[in-house]
Amino acid sequence: MTDNSFGTIFRITSFGESHGRIVGVVIDGVPPGLNIDKNFIQNELNKRRPGLSNLTSSRMEPDEFEILSGVFNNSTTGAPLSIIVRNEDVKSFHYEKIKDIIRPSHADYPAYVKYKGFADYRGSGRFSGRITVGYVIAGALAKMILKDYGIIPFAYTKSIGNVWDNQQYSCENMNKLIALRDSSPVNALNLVLSNEMINEIETVKKENDSIGGTIKCIINNVPPGIGSPIFGSLESNISKAMFSIPAIKGIEFGIGFKAASMRGSEHNDPWIIYQNKIITSKNDAGGIIGGLSTGMPIEFTVAVKPTASIGKVQKTINIKVMKGVDLKLEGRHDPCIVPRAVVIVEAMAAIVILDELLKSGKINTSNCKEVF
Amino acid sequence: MTDNSFGTIFRITSFGESHGRIVGVVIDGVPPGLNIDKNFIQNELNKRRPGLSNLTSSRMEPDEFEILSGVFNNSTTGAPLSIIVRNEDVKSFHYEKIKDIIRPSHADYPAYVKYKGFADYRGSGRFSGRITVGYVIAGALAKMILKDYGIIPFAYTKSIGNVWDNQQYSCENMNKLIALRDSSPVNALNLVLSNEMINEIETVKKENDSIGGTIKCIINNVPPGIGSPIFGSLESNISKAMFSIPAIKGIEFGIGFKAASMRGSEHNDPWIIYQNKIITSKNDAGGIIGGLSTGMPIEFTVAVKPTASIGKVQKTINIKVMKGVDLKLEGRHDPCIVPRAVVIVEAMAAIVILDELLKSGKINTSNCKEVF
Amino acid sequence: MTDNSFGTIFRITSFGESHGRIVGVVIDGVPPGLNIDKNFIQNELNKRRPGLSNLTSSRMEPDEFEILSGVFNNSTTGAPLSIIVRNEDVKSFHYEKIKDIIRPSHADYPAYVKYKGFADYRGSGRFSGRITVGYVIAGALAKMILKDYGIIPFAYTKSIGNVWDNQQYSCENMNKLIALRDSSPVNALNLVLSNEMINEIETVKKENDSIGGTIKCIINNVPPGIGSPIFGSLESNISKAMFSIPAIKGIEFGIGFKAASMRGSEHNDPWIIYQNKIITSKNDAGGIIGGLSTGMPIEFTVAVKPTASIGKVQKTINIKVMKGVDLKLEGRHDPCIVPRAVVIVEAMAAIVILDELLKSGKINTSNCKEVF
Amino acid sequence: MTDNSFGTIFRITSFGESHGRIVGVVIDGVPPGLNIDKNFIQNELNKRRPGLSNLTSSRMEPDEFEILSGVFNNSTTGAPLSIIVRNEDVKSFHYEKIKDIIRPSHADYPAYVKYKGFADYRGSGRFSGRITVGYVIAGALAKMILKDYGIIPFAYTKSIGNVWDNQQYSCENMNKLIALRDSSPVNALNLVLSNEMINEIETVKKENDSIGGTIKCIINNVPPGIGSPIFGSLESNISKAMFSIPAIKGIEFGIGFKAASMRGSEHNDPWIIYQNKIITSKNDAGGIIGGLSTGMPIEFTVAVKPTASIGKVQKTINIKVMKGVDLKLEGRHDPCIVPRAVVIVEAMAAIVILDELLKSGKINTSNCKEVF
């Protein structure tokens, strides 16, 4: 039951509920002397905030964070940071009405069994995507440190429904990619496809339905030799992090599932010397071999299931009376969670990569400003 | 660097190298009083043994295990089991010759960086698939305990190259599935497709090449409410375990990546009451929602990349002289690792599920024979 | 640097600083369905509150706790509890003046080295006894659960300065012991000695000095077989917990250091059958043998050093100018921390024992009301 | 039940039983490139070997270690080392005869409860001091690394029975202390007291009895700022390690329990500048304040209870028939375990200090030869 912490040296502990007083996070292992860029953190939080467009839930949350500990004179001290965000726009009456109804594709039933009926069901409680507010805050801190090493975890919407952006983007110019993405309301990189994705979302919204998608993440400048073989493989730790994000149902590294149909002669990435550096001439491995970073960009794609909450009538059961019912969900829901999940994927990626760098001794825990 | 242990209550520690004296495992957290079925363990080990057919590496390893501790009067004592398998058929001269050559799709280069040139490179050392001998042994122990609860982790070859078995199998009759699979040299369930898969492997073998594939795993009878939200999600822990198996590059739960193109109304699994039990009428979620088991079979599929070692000439570099070279690998390699990996996937699945049951208090750690 | 968490299943994470906004704790692993007795928690907190008598620091802290998460309808949900206490009566100017002075017996110098000058030095920051507010809160929760199993961790002041209470108290009537202790301003059990202890404290206070003491802890009704051999010994986990309390410098179990001068024939506790139960006729072992509970009361004593902060002039150095200085500390300090530490010792003992019971499967994590 | 591992970055896993095939250890987190000095390891093992004099058990164990993994070309590789020692001189018939008798001061009864009668009782199984063979091996590795940083954990016999060596030794000349100690059969530092201690042991041996003692440990050259406040305090981690050694019943740091009777003005160690270094003019704190190393020698003392196994007749019970019996233990026992435990205390101290240095980033995990 004690699984609300993640990471080894840079270690976060999540707490809070969707409709409770707060959501929050304790971040342990932050090196002392890091200047806190509050605007950056707020900006990251804004990227997952609801209520900002008609493509997202209408829940209005300012998502202003409060640092309760660990910062002194605007600098980290080496002590654990505890940071909370208050839940402001809580309307729990929708949930009160349906508290005996098992919502399809929600954790209601297994949570009922696990927590013997004591779980806070309002707004899905601990199972809500709102919990990821804490991930984004911790990820923002991790990004601040990684930035000094030139490492930028970057994610974008690769597909929504059947609209796929299959282009392979180079991360040579990360700032350009970021600008492109930030100009798209759905965090896509291609303007035409972005509009198609918006259409897709508007269509399902009109039909009281929802839609899934995929998010691709690229992390540049990770030095070779980070990670471990066996249980501490980069894939192991990244995947564990990604599946901590609600609604993620699949992950693949590099060319991923396509590798299963390939021959070795086709899939193997040839090593070459380029400008005196050892690199591979292509990157089907997604920057990871044997659990270790190769020095090439780390690339992975996650599958996001369609939002479980839909306005369409669904058949399900009332657990109290053990009878079938028709359920028409009210409340405020995202027709597609993918665009808001992009920053969450980045955040968890940043947390893993920073932790791995710290474990590898590449970042001196006593001084986050040292170079490797 | 300390990442050779896995699990919380049922916790394994891996050690050994491909061409060292042994490969082995310490298994901590085994409840006392478990009768050790040595034939069962050996039988599991035989499933991943090389040298048994012309589809696998010709390395001849008897893979006989020795229990060094933790068993008394043929029963577990509650003390940690340490179990080793000796490496018998070691031919390291192939590796001696190429120790400065970076083999494509192997961890040679990042391992060189990480371990500063001190890693045991013979037979890929810690990065070898041979390390999974310990997984299979620990998995066999986990399976022995799970069996008492009716839980059977079952995996089979879903695809090799372009030969796909897309049938959805019911796990009502697990014994029948097991018999079907065990009669196939490639661990497939469909006789016709099994032969096609064999052809595929034989073809690439003749061409000094290799091929990838996918493995599907189904675990029946897992009670609802196992696992955790957030960082301890079943998907998190299963995926971490799977990516600890060399060559795995992707994982999806239930319908997986297909969910990304689906609508909520299509993807959501309706809850129904069937024979007084709460189940879903389909299982696109793969038996996991919100990180918790739903009570439906847990289903996931992993992508296995083609064997990195191929006999074809490859372009790569010599790291000592920093020059390009043509590499033609000798040594003994599997043209396709998928069939031998099936039992490894099962083993790691068993380890995760047992650990989650122990964490959930469903199996009393003081007495593995108690029922839930 | 990531060492702000403690415990395995019942796991607490500490955060906050002495003169920051708050001190707090996240408590993970609390079983669902536990009714929160807020009065009990507040009462526990009051036992360590300063400002209540002239024997303690004059800092006035109401120490009212706020539950931010994990409780719904006044019951635990299985989600992590986060609980904070605000710091109200903060007077940091004393610390501002002396921030370059290394206070003797305080962590100023090593903290300066470790945190490169970034630590929050006000009121000793993370090194303050105020951090133990979170221990007491978590301990109160642990006690609530243990109470249902008849387990009561009980501590009292055994000595202050040279006033020693060497009586061996039976824990047959725990309520009587508690009443006795609670009637003593210094948490002693013997009225005469209590007055002597008070005199001792008043004497050192007048002399601008401080004094140490010892605290004995007795835990009744712990069933036999709890704990582990080797690294998980009860002594290992209890001692780790106790040395997490600032100012503790020694611990001994049972007869402790006296055992070092004893013969085996004298020290060994004879096993006898008494009222059909297996017990020992004396308890020099302090209820623990081989790291496991014997079923006898667990007994240990900790040594508390004299409060580091004293009003007397002390010789020390100014680290900025690297010169010797005379230091006369102002601020508000306890002449003797022992009485206020009694409830902290109990709290950490409760946390360890509950965690060990949970690990041993004696308390079902899914239902804290089940009996063993 | 999963408590057979210790440490964070330098992490050891213990396995094996007293009368099983082997005792052993897995050591994870050893940096690559460490040359293995096999003579040094063997020499360390010899220090705890039984059978070497009439002061110790007559069990004859060559205690030759075998490295099963993790070493290549006589150098560590970064992979986990697994090292075993075979049990050669096993005479289990003594234990067979008394397997239903609960030996006083042994873990027989609580182990029976915990392991439901399945534990390996021969030679006390997992509860035997023989388990510490693995500690000594891992400690020897830790010492090899620490030596490069000038850090030497040094322990000696401070008392046996009522013979106490209360001299405060300076660790300026560690080699001289080591030579002194190694010339004493009981690992004492004072020749006269050494002979008195030998007399004490011979006396109790003749009387079929046993005797306890204390061991003091001094660790020099630990830089300031190592360790953590709160749960990761040096005292917490050292005490946890020490209580993992069977028979340890107390620990005190620096002046320890004496601090409880002292005033602050007397106990506080004044900071001074000496040869441009910040030190304290005395070291009552034992080199640790606030959980952090001060830069002064770390000093602690542990209490060792008298050997539980004695030849004298003892009253106890037979658990099978639940009746009182007279027990006269045969088998081979140490009249005093203190001298053999000295090297074990050193080993566990070395393991903790190395782990803390690694956690503090003072030793680069990627290269154990880097200086701080």
pLDDT digit string (tens) for B123-132? 899 999 999 9
Contact C120, C356 (CB under 8 A): no
Give the gap in angstroms from C-alpha B271 to the nearest C-alpha of chain A.
5
The more confidently predicted of residues B315 and A60 is B315
What pLDDT does B51 receive? 72
In the CATH scheme, what is the homologous superfamily, with its name and number, of domain B5-360? Chorismate synthase AroC (3.60.150.10)
Contact B302, B348 (CB under 8 A): no
Write the burial class of residue D326 (CB in 10 Å: 0-12 exposed, 13-18 middle, 19+ buried): exposed
Cα atoms found within 13 Å of the Cα of residue A283, Cβ hemisphere only? 22
* Largest distance between two CA atoms of chain B: 71
Percent of all residues in chain C with a pLDDT value above 70, rounded to a whole number? 97
Residue C367 has pLDDT above 60, yes or no: no
pLDDT, tens digit, 9 for 90 and up, residues B192-228:
999 999 999 999 999 999 999 999 999 999 999 999 9
ipTM reported for the complex, 2 dp: 0.96
Question: Which residues does chain B have within 8 Å of residue D2's beta carbon, measured at their own beta carbons?
Answer: 7-11, 28-29
pLDDT, tens digit, 9 for 90 and up, residues C130-184:
999 999 999 999 999 999 999 999 999 999 999 999 999 998 899 999 999 999 9
What pLDDT does C164 receive? 98
What pLDDT does D366 receive? 40
What pLDDT does B223 receive? 96
What pLDDT does A369 receive? 40
Residue B1 has pLDDT above 60, yes or no: no
Candidate from B20-34, B248-262, C87-101, C327-341 with smallest mean pLDDT: C87-101
Beta carbons within 10 angstroms of residue D330's beta carbon: 13
Q: Flag whether residue C210 sits within 8 Å of chain D, measured between CB atoms.
A: yes
SS3 assignment, position A237: helix
Task: Share the mean pLDDT of chain B.
Answer: 93
Contact D365 A364 (CB under 8 A): no
Residue B369 has pLDDT above 60, yes or no: no
Which residues partner with A280 through β-bridges? A271
Q: How far apart are the first and last CA of chain B?
A: 38
What pLDDT does D369 receive? 40
pLDDT, tens digit, 9 for 90 and up, residues B223-245:
999 999 999 999 999 999 999 99
Percent of all residues in chain B with a pLDDT value above 90, rounded to a whole number? 85
What pLDDT does B111 receive? 96
What pLDDT does C114 receive? 95
Determine the length of chain A.
Answer: 372
Task: Share the mean pLDDT of chain C.
Answer: 93
pLDDT, tens digit, 9 for 90 and up, residues D34-65:
999 999 999 999 999 877 777 888 888 889 99
Residue D92 has pLDDT above 90, yes or no: no
Chain B residue nearest residue A245, CA to CA: B230
pLDDT tier at B74 (50, 70, 90 boundaries)?
Answer: very high
Which residue is it, tokens 């799709």? B105
Cα C303 to Cα A274, C245, C248, D286: the distances in Å are 64, 11, 6, 14
The more confidently predicted of residues B79 and A61 is B79
Chain C residue nearest residue D348, CA to CA: C231
Alpha-carbon span C110 to D294, nearest angstrom: 5
Alpha-carbon span B297 to B283, nearest angstrom: 8
Contact A297, A287 (CB under 8 A): yes
Residue D1 has pLDDT above 70, yes or no: no
Angle of helix D132-147 relative to helix D338-359, nearest 10 degrees? 50
Alpha-carbon span D284 to D288, nearest angstrom: 9
Q: Flag whether residue B223 sits within 8 Å of chain D, measured between CB atoms.
A: no
Q: What angle do CA C65, C71, C75 make, to 5 degrees?
A: 110
Structure-token pair, residue B159: 């695809």
Contact B273, B320 (CB under 8 A): no
Alpha-carbon span C85 to C269, nearest angstrom: 45
Alpha-carbon span C75 to C81, nearest angstrom: 11
The backbone torsions φ and ψ at residue A273, rounded to the nearest 5 degrees and listed phi first, read -105, 125
Tell me the torsion sign for CA atoms B270, B273, B278, B282: negative
Average pLDDT of D320-329? 94
Q: Flag whether residue A65 sits within 8 Å of chain B, measured between CB atoms.
A: no
Tell me the torsion sign for CA atoms A188, A193, A199, A200: negative
Contact A250 B252 (CB under 8 A): yes
Nearest residue to D3 via CA among C348, C295, C8, C293: C8
Question: Which residues does chain C have within 8 Å of residue A115's beta carbon, measured at their own beta carbons?
Answer: 32, 77-78
Mutation pick from A365, A367, A368 vs chain D, by most beta carbons of D within 10 Å, is: A365
Contact C53, C13 (CB under 8 A): no
Chain A residue nearest residue D367, CA to CA: A361
Contact C367, C78 (CB under 8 A): no
Alpha-carbon span B312 to A264, nearest angstrom: 9
Tell me the torsion sign for CA atoms B356, B360, B364, B366: positive
Chain A residue nearest residue C33, CA to CA: A118
pLDDT tier at C67 (50, 70, 90 boundaries)?
Answer: very high
Dump strand ranges (E) for chain A: 5-6, 11-16, 22-28, 65-69, 71-72, 75-76, 81-86, 153-160, 163-164, 213-219, 248-253, 271-274, 277-280, 288-289, 292-293, 298-304, 314-318, 323-327
* Largest distance between two CA atoms of chain A: 71
Average pLDDT of D184-190? 97
Determine the length of chain B.
Answer: 372
SS3 assignment, position C145: helix
Alpha-carbon span D201 to D207, nearest angstrom: 10
Percent of all residues in chain D with a pLDDT value above 70, rounded to a whole number? 97
Nearest residue to D368 via CA among B102, A312, B1, A302: B1
Contact A222, A299 (CB under 8 A): no
pLDDT tier at D252 (50, 70, 90 boundaries)?
Answer: very high
Contact D27, D33 (CB under 8 A): no
Contact A365 D360 (CB under 8 A): yes
Q: How far apart are the first and last CA of chain D?
A: 38
Alpha-carbon span A21 to A33, nearest angstrom: 31
Average pLDDT of C263-272? 98
Percent of all residues in chain C with a pLDDT value above 90, rounded to a whole number? 85
Beta carbons within 10 angstroms of residue D176's beta carbon: 13
Give the gap in angstroms from C-alpha C73 to the nearest C-alpha of chain D.
32
Contact D127 C229 (CB under 8 A): yes
SS3 assignment, position A138: helix
- What lies within 8 Å, CB to CB, of D324 at 6+ separation is C272, C273, D315, D316, D317, D318
Average pLDDT of D128-146? 97
What pLDDT does A370 receive? 34
The more confidently predicted of residues D93 and D26 is D26
Residue D370 has pLDDT above 90, yes or no: no
Amino acid found at D88: E
Residues 103 through 122 of chain B touching chain D, CB cutoff 8 Å: 114-116, 118-120, 122
Q: Flag whether residue A185 sits within 8 Å of chain C, measured between CB atoms.
A: no
> H/E element holding D160?
strand D153-160
Q: Where are the alpha helices (DSSP H) in C105-247?
A: 108-114, 132-147, 174-182, 191-206, 234-242
pLDDT along chain A (372 residues), means of 10: 89 96 97 96 93 79 94 96 93 83 96 94 92 98 96 98 96 93 97 97 96 98 96 98 98 98 98 95 98 98 97 95 93 90 98 95 52 30
What pLDDT does D372 receive? 31
DSSP C170: -
Alpha-carbon span A304 to A117, nearest angstrom: 28
pTM (2 d.p.): 0.96
Which residues partner with D76 through β-bridges? D71
Nearest residue to D200 via CA among D163, D164, D165, D166: D163
- What lies within 8 Å, CB to CB, of A302 at 6+ separation is A214, A215, A217, A242, A245, A248, A250, A251, A345
- Find the radius of gyration of the CA atoms of chain D: 21
Average pLDDT of D83-94? 88
Question: Which residues does chain C have within 8 Å of residue D213's beta carbon, measured at their own beta carbons?
Answer: 260
Give the gap in angstroms from C-alpha D27 to the nearest C-alpha of chain B.
9
Chain D residue nearest residue C254, CA to CA: D249
Chain A residue nearest residue B201, CA to CA: A263
Structure-token pair, residue D161: 């029975």
Calculate the dihedral angle through the C-alpha atoms of B64, B68, B71, B76, rounding to the nearest 10 degrees.
Answer: -80
Structure-token pair, residue B42: 């050996």
Average pLDDT of D236-241? 98
Contact A24 C76 (CB under 8 A): no
Contact D364 A360 (CB under 8 A): no
Alpha-carbon span A100 to A121, nearest angstrom: 10
Map out the domains of chain B as residue ranges: 5-360
